[in-house]
Amino acid sequence: MKKIINKIGRALQVILLAPVKLPGKAMDILKYLAIGVGIVESVIDDKEESEKDRIEEEGGPDESQ
């Protein structure tokens, strides 16, 4: 899922940066989509970091055996 979200975010960035004439409403929609995808990416990254920190605090998966 993370890979799909990253690819969508990259595609939106390319569209927004390309010198293409699109209607104003379409550009506004793309901007909001890009913001939403960016928020989702940051939440996923924060979740993964918190899981890694939790595993390190517990002493790792191998030490519990």
pLDDT above 70 for 63? no
Q: How confident is the model at residue 61 (pLDDT cuts 50, 70, 90)?
A: low
Q: What is the 3-state secondary structure (H, E, C) of 8-28?
A: HHHHHHHHHHCCCCCCHHHHH
pLDDT above 70 for 64? no
33-45 mean pLDDT: 89
pLDDT for position 62? 60
16-25 mean pLDDT: 86
